[in-house]
């Protein structure tokens, strides 16, 4: 690992001034479950790390009638175990519980989970200069692409690895971000970017900006939600495919629906076609099948990952079936 300096930040307002206009010069560290791995693999080689754990109160979880406010340093384990989140923001608590191993959940933070880098084996290989690292080729196109994107791929075909991101997007969350000009709010729907927008990054966060808090509006009456994740090893793996579903119900009628897929696109993927089919209708198995078909019709699988199409099909139908009971 390249030598670096280590700075303890004292407050969130100070952090932008400790960062830089160049990602290679300074990086934030919180739980360290992602950035340290990248540094060991020489994917990131910052001159200095800015420690956020020295800032008080960034790990707080507040829930009241106005919604939920979760600090960027809130541990994944605490989100998964929070009784009010489990009851009223079920999709988020379930997504947090699905993250990695107990050890990862004990160290990992919400901000880190949202901002973690791709797990593509070509990107993570220090000897491979792919498009994500400034190269001219996505090696997954002609290589091993079993776990890569089936939606919105190109020129890079990574999938977004976060479990929390689909859940928070389905809950219509926004981020409180501090930059050189002070605090600002970013809707999560505007936070993630596709490779065709910026192949080097997965979100709009600048190199001198930091997430301070995630804010979630109070769910509307009749809201039910869930998170489902398919992975090869149930104990620890990233998602082969996942679904975050938030439905506002009135009896068996779906007044509103938000469905977000994970593990299948370079950014959390809204299944807007499925939402439109379900919205305003009485839920049924037949309608669920129609919604699933509308989603997978948009898929463009690669040579080794067409199996994900059927997993997405099944996840949407299972989510609707779970809501119907």
Q: How does pLDDT run across 69-79, given as a tens digit for each residue?
A: 999 999 999 99
Give the long-range contacts of residues 42-46, CB within 8 A, separation 24 or more. 42/1, 42/2, 42/126, 43/117, 43/123, 43/124, 43/126, 43/133, 45/2, 46/4
Kindly state the tokens that stand for 309: 């199409």
- Distance (Å, whole) CA 167 – CA 242: 10
Residue 301 has pLDDT above 90, yes or no: yes
Residue 234 has pLDDT above 80, yes or no: no
Kindly state the tokens that stand for 260: 């977000």
> For the chain, what is the mean pLDDT?
96
- Distance (Å, whole) CA 258 – CA 247: 6
Count CB-CB contacts under 10 A for residue 24. Answer: 11
Cβ pair 145, 304 in contact under 8 A: yes
- Burial of 166 per CB tally in 10 Å (0-12, 13-18, 19+): buried
Domain layout of the chain by residue ranges: 224-324
pLDDT tens-digit readout, 92-149? 999 999 999 999 999 999 999 999 999 999 999 989 999 999 999 999 999 999 999 9
Q: Architecture of domain 224-324 in CATH?
A: 2-Layer Sandwich (3.30)
pLDDT tens-digit readout, 236-260? 789 999 999 999 999 989 999 999 9
Confidence of residue 1 (pLDDT cuts 50, 70, 90): confident
The residue behind tokens 């009628």 is 253
pLDDT score recorded for residue 303: 97
DSSP helix/strand/coil, 14? helix
| Cα angle, residue 238 at apex, residues 42 and 134 outer, rounded to 5° | 35
Pairing state of beta strands 5-8 and 48-51? parallel
Closest CA to 279 of 303, 258, 310: 258
Share of the chain above pLDDT 90, in %: 94
**Whole-prediction pTM value?**
0.96
User: What letters, b where the CB count within 10 A reaches 16 and e where it falls short, cover 32-41?
Assistant: bbbbeebbee
- Distance (Å, whole) CA 178 – CA 168: 19
> What sign does the CA torsion over 45, 28, 193, 20 have?
negative
């Amino acid at each position: 690992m390249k030598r670096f300096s280590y700075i303890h930040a004292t407050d969130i307002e100070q952090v932008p001034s400790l960062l830089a206009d160049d990602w290679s010069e300074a990086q934030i560290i919180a739980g360290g479950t992602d950035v340290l791995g990248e540094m060991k693999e020489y994917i990131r080689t910052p001159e200095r790390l800015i420690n956020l754990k020295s800032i008080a109160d960034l790990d707080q979880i507040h829930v009241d009638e106005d919604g939920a406010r979760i600090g960027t340093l809130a541990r994944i384990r605490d989100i998964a175990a929070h009784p009010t989140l489990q009851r009223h923001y079920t999709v988020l608590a379930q997504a947090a519980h699905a993250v990695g191993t107990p050890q990862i959940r004990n160290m990992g933070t919400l901000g880190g989970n949202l901002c973690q880098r791709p797990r593509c084996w070509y990107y993570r290989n220090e000897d491979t200069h792919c498009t994500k690292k400034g190269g001219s080729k996505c090696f997954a196109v002609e290589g091993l692409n079993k776990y890569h994107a089936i939606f919105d791929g190109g020129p890079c075909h990574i999938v977004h690895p976060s479990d929390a991101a689909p859940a928070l997007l389905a809950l219509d969350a926004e981020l409180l971000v501090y930059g050189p000009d002070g605090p600002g709010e970013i809707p999560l729907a505007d936070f993630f970017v596709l490779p065709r927008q910026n192949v080097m990054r997965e979100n709009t966060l600048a190199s001198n900006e930091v997430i301070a808090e995630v804010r979630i509006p109070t769910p509307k009456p009749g809201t039910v939600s869930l998170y489902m994740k398919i992975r090869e090893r149930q104990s620890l793996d990233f998602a082969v495919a996942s679904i975050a579903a938030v439905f506002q119900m009135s009896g068996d009628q779906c007044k509103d629906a938000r469905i977000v897929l994970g593990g299948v696109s370079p950014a959390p993927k809204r299944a807007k076609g499925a939402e439109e089919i379900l919205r305003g209708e009485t839920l049924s198995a037949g309608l669920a099948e129609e919604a699933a078909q509308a989603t997978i019709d948009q898929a463009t699988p690669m040579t080794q990952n067409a199996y994900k199409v059927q997993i997405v099909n099944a996840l949407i139908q299972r989510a609707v079936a779970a809501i119907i009971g």
